[in-house]
Copies of this chain bind each other. A is one copy, B any other.
Amino acid sequence: MFVLVNLKAYPCDPVAIAEAAADVAETTPATIAVAPQPADIGRVADTGATTYAQHVSPTEHGSHTGSVLAESVADNGAVGTLLNHSEHRRRLADIDGSVAAAERAGLDTVVCANNPAQVAAAAALGPDAVAVEPPALIGTGTPVSQADPDIVSDAVAAAEAVDPSVDVYCGAGITTGEDVVSAGDLGASGVLLASGVAKADDPRAALADLVAPL
């Protein structure tokens, strides 16, 4: 199971959360990754935590002021990247370009999408994984097992039909270890979560609870 903690632009201590993630990761078969702000990638990676970017640009080296270059992200220690998160929707051609840029720099890719049709489209671009973010669950705290579980199993089926080598993650409705288990039961091999850890009083305890049943 892959557990990615997206720190978004939250007012949190990215290094403390990364240290907790690195520690908890040693106690579980699950992989725990942290996706901080781009300027925090280096210090997050320095903790030993598996580090992801929240986005990389579709561009290569060159005159691209304001871009987030995949190579720069990788040089600072990231090993993967989210793409097309529901808060950062991208053009189809640019998702394709960003997947290529990430691959070129040796980064794993997780392309987000919000329904099975878009999941299939994302899978067709050849990323390592796609994440389905049911709009009805984003930021609600409603567990995926209770609201709209079909969207996860439909997403798994949709990605499988296009490219069986692409993993499917559940990108909303995850707060507890029980939710992680439910996502797995629905066919997901990973989960994305954010505020449940980043805004927790004790991020270490929150992470430990998440992976306890695994």
Contacts and interface: CB of A to CB of B under 8 A. Distances in A.
B61 A9 contact: yes
A102 to B, nearest CB: 14
A118 interface: yes
A43 B121 CA distance: 36
Contacts of A122: 92, 121
A60 B10 CA distance: 9
So how many copies of this chain end up in the complex?
Answer: 4
Interface in A29-49: 35-43
Contact of A91 (B11, B35, B92, B195): B92
A125 interface: yes
Given A118-B125, A121-B124, A162-B120, A9 B88 contact: no
How many A residues touch the partner, as a band? Answer: 35 or more
A126 interface: yes
Given A9-B61, A72-B39, A66 B54 contact: yes
A162 B55 contact: no
A27 interface: no
B117 A65 contact: no
A123 B88 CA distance: 23
Contact of A65 (B54, B59, B96): B54
Interface of A: 6, 8-11, 35-43, 53-55, 57, 59-69, 71-73, 75-76, 78, 82, 84-96, 113-115, 117-118, 120-126, 139, 158, 161-162, 194-195
